[in-house]
Amino acid sequence: MAEIVYMPKLSDTMLEGVVAGWNKKVGDTIKEGEILAEIETDKATMEFESFYDGVLLHIGVETGKAAPVNSILAIIGNAGEDVTALLANAGATPITETKAVIEEVSTVVTTEATPASSPVFENKPTTSLSNSNGRVFASPLAKRLAEEKGVDINQVAGTGESGRIVKRDVDHYVPYTPAVGNGQNFSIQTGVESFIDVPNSQMRKAIAKALTTSKFSAPHFYLKMEVDMDNAIAAREVINSKGNVKVSFNDMVIKAVAASLRKHPKVNADWIGEAIRYNNHIHVGVAVAVEDGLVVPVVKFADTKGIAQLGSEIKDLAVRARDKKIKPEEMTGGTFAVSNLGMYGIEDFTSIINPPNGCILSVGQIKQTPVVKNGEIVPGNVMKLSLSCDHRVVDGAIGSEFLQTLKNLLENPVLMLV
């Protein structure tokens, strides 16, 4: 009996999904647990597994197209089944050639030979490494990207699981000409007027919606403070010189933030409309720049972890976020957020609050500058912090006390171990 596969809700904020690529085509046999398609949500591109055994009889959303959650994504059933009535009952309009495809499928699924091609839904040409049944061992997103870039996927080495070619392999392939949008390149031409319109991804749409709502509904105010990082620099040098443990200044900031939130629980709060939610747990979101925009992986129970453990977890989350392999649950539930642009040479900036959080901390670079110590001007290392606060949740005095504690911890790193 044929079963409808609906567009899944892969994140708590997902309203629609875009099919980044199909791993199967109409007429293919599929087993439960096999990857059916790659779906782009508002937060990541994720592999979607089939829940059924059978033959792919119908594809409801073409590659690159968007569809609402719970709309028909595909139909899986027995060879030769007529899905016209099923589509009609579900409120979908069957594609003209679906019946012809079903008839063709019924003649080829009894063998292990290469599956017959669909006259409607054609697989994109692939020439990469393949397994015994002739299928390319590459993700649909990698195939599509290779085609757009004009890359011979045969020449690309796979670094994914079991040697599978994934998106990063195509991105890092040399030589190639980076492509954006519909196979076009970003390049400034002298004396020529031209432009490229790149459709907004699901992630970019989500960022625009969430931050626009935050900026124009939450009354932001900003608190700024300078931190003397001399002791933090010395402490990091000692830590990194001992054994295999390597920590970054960002790791130290996250640790200090978590410890400060424990002392100032009113900053660890969310605006949920009818109430202010004071969280009894500390989950710190760490902003990570990715190809399509910005994601905020969450370090759960950050106050219970040491600096080295935090560093390892943050690095793992950031790598998987950039590779679009991070899970939706790893990007939800944050009670406070940190955005660090110091590695880009940014000295001072303010961030838009990530709703429903009440605050977000912006971290600038550590800059060597003259400072006054003991009445004398000496070289010093200063880092600027900026706390964006939702005035509905946090008042100025509460935010200031939090920043004072954070400053004290960073200037005296030994206190973070207590």
- pLDDT single digits (tens) 246-283: 899 999 999 999 999 999 999 999 999 889 999 999 99
pLDDT tens-digit map of 17-64: 889 889 888 989 988 888 899 888 876 778 888 888 899 989 989 988
Q: What is the pLDDT of residues 85-119, one digit of tens each?
A: 888 877 644 443 333 333 333 333 333 333 333 33
Mean pLDDT of 384-393: 97
Looking at 2.60.40.420, 2.40.50.100, 3.30.70.260, 1.10.3720.10, the CATH number of the domain 3-123 comes to: 2.40.50.100
CATH class in words for 202-417: alpha beta
Distance CA 7, CA 73 (A): 5
Range list for CATH 3.30.559.10 in the chain? 202-417
Mean pLDDT on 342-369: 95
CB-based burial of residue 271 (10 Å sphere; 0-12 exposed, 13-18 middle, 19+ buried)? buried
Active site residues: 391
Write down the pLDDT at residue 237. Answer: 92
Does 79 score more than 60 pLDDT?
A: yes
Higher pLDDT, 199 or 310: 310
Beta bridge partners of 336: 284
Task: Output the 3-class SS for the chain.
Answer: CCEEEECCCCCCCCCEEEEEEECCCCCCEECCCCEEEEEECCCCEEEEECCCCEEEEEECCCCCCEEECCCEEEEEECCCCCCHHHHHHCCCCCCCCHHHHHHHHCCCCCCCCCCCCCCCCCCCCCCCCECCCCCECECHHHHHHHHHHCCCHHHCCCCCHHHCECHHHHHCCCCCCCCECCCECCCCCCCCCCCCCCCCCHHHHHHHHHHHHHHHHCCEEEEEEEEECHHHHHHHHHHHHCCCCCCCHHHHHHHHHHHHHHHCHHHCEEECCCCEEECCCCCEEECEEECCEEECCEECCHHHCCHHHHHHHHHHHHHHHHCCCCCHHHHCCCCEEEEECHHHCCCCCCCCCCCCECEEEEEEEEEEEEEEECCEEEEEEEEEEEEEEECCCCCHHHHHHHHHHHHHHHHCHHHHHC
pLDDT of residue 229: 96
The three-point CA angle 283-227-214 to 5° equals 45
pLDDT of residue 162: 57
Query: Which part of the chain is CATH 2.40.50.100?
Result: 3-123
What the block records as the tokens of 82 is: 């007529």
Token representation of residue 130: 């393949």
- What share of the chain in percent tops pLDDT 70? 83
Contact (CB, 8 A) for 356 and 270: yes
Closest by Cα among 14, 109, 112, 107 to 66: 14
270: Cα separation from own chain's centroid: 22
pLDDT of residue 390: 97
CA distance 217 to 316: 34
